[in-house]
Chains A and B, each alone.
Chain A
Amino acid sequence: MSSKYSVGIDLGTTNCVVAYAELDAGGPAKLDILKIPQVVAPHEGEALSSLSSFLYVPEEQEVASAAYELPDYPSYPTVSGALARRLSADRPGRVISAAKSWLCHAGVDRCAAILPWEADSDVQKFSPVTASKLLLRQMADAWQSSFPDAPLQEQQVTLTVPASFDITARELTREAALGAGLPADFILLEEPQAAVYHWLEKTGDHWREQVAEGEQLLVCDVGGGTTDLSLMRVEQEQGDLVLRRQAVGRHLLVGGDNMDLALAHFVAEKFAQQGTRLDAWQSVALWHSCRQAKESLLAEDGSQTETISVLGRGSKLIGGTVSTQVSRDDVQQLLVEGFFPECEAGSRPEAAAPTGFQELGLPFETDSAITRHLSAFLADNPIDDDAQVHLLLNGGVFKADALRTRIYQVVGQLRSGTAPGQLGDVADLDHAVARGAAYYGWAKQQGGIRIRAGTARSYYVGIETAGLAVPGMPRPLQAVCVVPFGLEEGSDVQVPGREVGLVIGRPARFRFFAAADRKDDVPGTTLRNWSEQELIETSPLEVTLENVDEATEDSPADNFVPVRFSGRVSELGVLELWCQSTRDDRQWKLEFTVREEAEAAT
């Protein structure tokens, strides 16, 4: 199969973008953004350069009247894009938003129909996986309608995920993507890496002049709802510079939307002081106005004050419009100090005061100070004092000058006064991830720099130790490292030592853990004590040894097989764990059991 195009898909928390480049076209990669047809109003469609990641669940009556069925457009059980985004304010109980954040939320059953969260009772619900699949299918269909002669199944497709997505969230993303019609060999690429590829594409061969061996790249990607941190190192390999991804941060649920909302609350208070109480509808309109005002208020040469207006409802637009003045200093104070406060090396996010009541919704960060999360990340992943650090920013919020200036300043402070180098510019921040992903696919085929990444975590299988059973006490658990940090694509490891006996025909289940900061563990390293922060438990693994082999049928009395573990990262970056018989060469793949676990929990 030879692909004609490299297609990069950015499945964002609030916006999706598809970029593509023709392969074998000669010359440097030429990237374009795919227009995605979507319903913008009843009976009205438009092809836009992004697809808002909102899904509106139509009413039965709307379905019956085919208001969202356009003859030229494929139809879906939900309506996503511009219309759904607008309706998310008017009819929140019928709109799924931030499906991607739910995909990474281990506290809920991600395959169960739970969205829209807090939906009205008569609303059909969808699972986070299905919602993501619907968005991806619409993008796949958009590709097909633009390029009927180049089936997506035959193209080089790259889909981006947050670097901080855990292995289960990646697995679920893969499942959604395959269900949506992406080719089986599509690649999952981490978003901060995509941002770096975008920079590489923009700078061409000149990137080697901007960084040098031993220097570090700190990628700070602030999306609508999430913040993603990655650290890379410039290394030399056979006389050429290469990039090696060293660490990724925790999944942080704080982003640009939080800033818009904070500003809206602040302005609503101003209105209240003037004696104007905003109703729910006006509050939403205000949120929107604040999003627009944020950039100009944080611009370097912006005005000292800005008028923020909320238009009157109904056709009394002018008469009903209310306005208030917001000063630049107030907004700087609110957003810059609120989300990017100065902080000292070693400072950490403030932990929430325990409330005793935990809502099941998305686990938003209790400390919205992105710089403190950044400080903790740098403390956990120390960089040599004399190594030059370059900062690469990604995400629409960095169009605001004041936020950019502040984060450079803070990184300088955290690095004991050494200012970070600046990479990339602000142009095209909205499409950078999709373009970077398309460029990655292009470079993979046409030759070009690759980031050496490998696994961002080390992984452990939990094994109960043998010993006397004590009533009421669980058997002590040991965690055995099965995949070390940084295992690269296309390599595998055998876990030495311990053998485990698996009973034939009965499912065996293993607890499974991931660690971000245990980079020195090797396969077989056994942990007996660990803190909850150190080893994060993810979905359990399950395997059933089917009695298919003739050899074992000959000896029915012998109904268990001693196995050893092995870990493997495929060429496509998929992590697999296998049980290998120590008697013969049979092996069984361990599967993640997201569903069963969830069913048991509900």
Chain B
Amino acid sequence: MSLGVACKAFWAALFNADVAAKIQQAMNPDAGSRESTSERAAPPPAKAAPQPTRSDALTLLSALQREARFLDLVQESLDGYDDAQVGGAAREVLRDCRKTLDRMFAIQPLSEHDEGSAIDVESDHSPHRVRVVGTAGDRGVVTHRGWQASCCEVPVWQGQSVDSLVLSPTEVEGHSTGAAS
């Protein structure tokens, strides 16, 4: 996980968000009932609880960038870099991506049979679970075990809708006038 993420810029980005938030609040003083996206969330009452205003997909992207710098990697052009250079960066990013995905989805192989082993193919198998390539029959060799998530625990985002498309804040190296901090 990159330790240098975002944080230096919070206050700068948030300053704008703050202004935006105030406008938002003035226009929409109290949002309705909230929808709990976390099974654990059964917290102290008596707080304004706005509806989460963005898709979990955005929150997942944001988390992958924060913890693994996924967006930085896929957004960068590979032109001009040799494979070793790409590999060096990708190794770090992929390792951290896996850690994040494992935590949120606990990803496991779908089939318990190893690649290369012969298995029975049920005639009424679900096309979601088994995809037969080549000749259909009652036996087959596993070429890919498939994947499945064992859980789905994406962070809960509860910001203002004006910020909902922000995936990672602008980073600013802060300093006071004249002297660097």
Taking a contact as CB atoms under 8 Å apart, the answer to whether A70 and B1 are in contact is: no
Cβ distance B26 to chain A, nearest Cβ, rounded Å: 15
- Rounded to whole angstroms, the CA-CA distance of A287 and B1 in the bound complex is 11
Given contacts A44-B158, A311-B92, A72 and B38 within 8 Å (CB-CB): yes
A148 part of interface (Cβ distance < 8 Å): yes
Interface 0/1 of A529-545, CB less than 8 Å to B? 00000000000000000
A61 part of interface (Cβ distance < 8 Å): yes
B125 part of interface (Cβ distance < 8 Å): no
Taking a contact as CB atoms under 8 Å apart, the answer to whether A311 and B44 are in contact is: no
Cβ distance A352 to chain B, nearest Cβ, rounded Å: 31
Given contacts A42-B10, A61-B14, A145-B41, A289 and B92 within 8 Å (CB-CB): yes
Taking a contact as CB atoms under 8 Å apart, the answer to whether B14 and A312 are in contact is: no
Q: How many A-B residue pairs have CB under 8 A?
A: 159
Given contacts A45-B156, A317-B93, A73 and B43 within 8 Å (CB-CB): yes
Cβ distance A192 to chain B, nearest Cβ, rounded Å: 29
For B6, B10, B154, the residue with the greatest tally of chain A CB atoms inside 10 Å of its CB is B10
- Rounded to whole angstroms, the CA-CA distance of A48 and B47 in the bound complex is 23
Taking a contact as CB atoms under 8 Å apart, the answer to whether A90 and B69 are in contact is: no
- Chain A, residue nearest B50 (CB): A71
B91 part of interface (Cβ distance < 8 Å): yes
- Rounded to whole angstroms, the CA-CA distance of A72 and B33 in the bound complex is 12
A-B CB contact pairs (8 Å), 22 listed: A37-B38, A40-B63, A41-B63, A41-B155, A44-B157, A46-B154, A47-B153, A62-B11, A65-B21, A70-B156, A71-B50, A72-B36, A72-B158, A86-B1, A145-B42, A288-B2, A288-B3, A307-B88, A317-B69, A318-B86, A319-B85, A321-B92
Which residues of chain B are within 8 angstroms of A319 by Cβ–Cβ distance? 76, 81, 85
Within 8 A of B (CB), among A65-83: 65-67, 70-74
Q: CB < 8 Å: which of A45, A284, A312 contacts B3?
A: A284
Taking a contact as CB atoms under 8 Å apart, the answer to whether A311 and B2 are in contact is: yes
- Rounded to whole angstroms, the CA-CA distance of A72 and B84 in the bound complex is 45
- Rounded to whole angstroms, the CA-CA distance of A146 and B36 in the bound complex is 13
Q: CB < 8 Å: which of A41, A315, A321 contacts B75?
A: A315
Which residues of chain B are within 8 angstroms of A73 by Cβ–Cβ distance? 41, 43
Which residues of chain B are within 8 angstroms of A145 by Cβ–Cβ distance? 40-43
B48 part of interface (Cβ distance < 8 Å): yes
- Rounded to whole angstroms, the CA-CA distance of A62 and B169 in the bound complex is 14
Taking a contact as CB atoms under 8 Å apart, the answer to whether A91 and B89 are in contact is: no
- Known A35-B40, A72-B34, A317-B69; further 19 A-B contacts with Cβ < 8 A: A40-B63, A41-B62, A42-B10, A44-B62, A64-B18, A65-B15, A70-B156, A71-B50, A74-B43, A86-B5, A90-B4, A145-B40, A148-B42, A288-B1, A292-B95, A307-B88, A309-B89, A315-B75, A321-B89
B138 part of interface (Cβ distance < 8 Å): no
Which residues of chain B are within 8 angstroms of A277 by Cβ–Cβ distance? none
- Chain B, residue nearest A91 (CB): B7
Cβ distance A55 to chain B, nearest Cβ, rounded Å: 15
Taking a contact as CB atoms under 8 Å apart, the answer to whether A42 and B14 are in contact is: yes
- Chain B, residue nearest A317 (CB): B72
Given contacts A61-B11, A292-B95, A321-B89, A86 and B155 within 8 Å (CB-CB): no
> Looking at chain A's contact residues, is the secondary structure mostly helix, strand, loop, or mixed?
mixed
- Rounded to whole angstroms, the CA-CA distance of A312 and B171 in the bound complex is 14
Chain B interfacial positions (CB closer than 8 Å to A): 1-8, 10-11, 14-15, 17-18, 21, 34, 36, 38, 40-44, 47-50, 59, 62-63, 66, 69, 72-73, 75-76, 78, 81, 84-86, 88-93, 95, 103, 153-160, 163, 169, 171
Taking a contact as CB atoms under 8 Å apart, the answer to whether B43 and A65 are in contact is: no
A281 part of interface (Cβ distance < 8 Å): yes
Q: CB < 8 Å: which of B10, B63, B75, B160 contacts A62?
A: B10
Taking a contact as CB atoms under 8 Å apart, the answer to whether A318 and B14 are in contact is: no
Interface 0/1 of A13-55, CB less than 8 Å to B? 0000000000000000000000101001111111110000000
- Rounded to whole angstroms, the CA-CA distance of A287 and B14 in the bound complex is 28
Taking a contact as CB atoms under 8 Å apart, the answer to whether B4 and A285 are in contact is: yes
Taking a contact as CB atoms under 8 Å apart, the answer to whether B4 and A284 are in contact is: yes
- Rounded to whole angstroms, the CA-CA distance of A145 and B49 in the bound complex is 16
Cβ distance B84 to chain A, nearest Cβ, rounded Å: 8
Cβ distance A323 to chain B, nearest Cβ, rounded Å: 4
- Rounded to whole angstroms, the CA-CA distance of A87 and B91 in the bound complex is 24
Taking a contact as CB atoms under 8 Å apart, the answer to whether A86 and B49 are in contact is: no
Q: CB < 8 Å: which of A43, A148, A313, A317 contacts B158?
A: A43
Cβ distance A269 to chain B, nearest Cβ, rounded Å: 19
Given contacts A67-B14, A318-B86, A311 and B93 within 8 Å (CB-CB): yes
- Rounded to whole angstroms, the CA-CA distance of A90 and B3 in the bound complex is 8
Given contacts A67-B14, A146-B42, A43 and B3 within 8 Å (CB-CB): no
Which residues of chain A are within 8 angstroms of B59 by Cβ–Cβ distance? 44
Cβ distance A224 to chain B, nearest Cβ, rounded Å: 16
Cβ distance B18 to chain A, nearest Cβ, rounded Å: 4
Q: CB < 8 Å: which of B3, B86, B153 contacts A86?
A: B3
Taking a contact as CB atoms under 8 Å apart, the answer to whether B92 and A37 are in contact is: no
- Chain A, residue nearest B84 (CB): A323
What 10 A-B pairs have minimum CB-CB distances, sorted nearest first? Answer: A43-B159, A65-B18, A46-B155, A71-B49, A317-B72, A321-B89, A323-B88, A72-B41, A90-B7, A89-B3
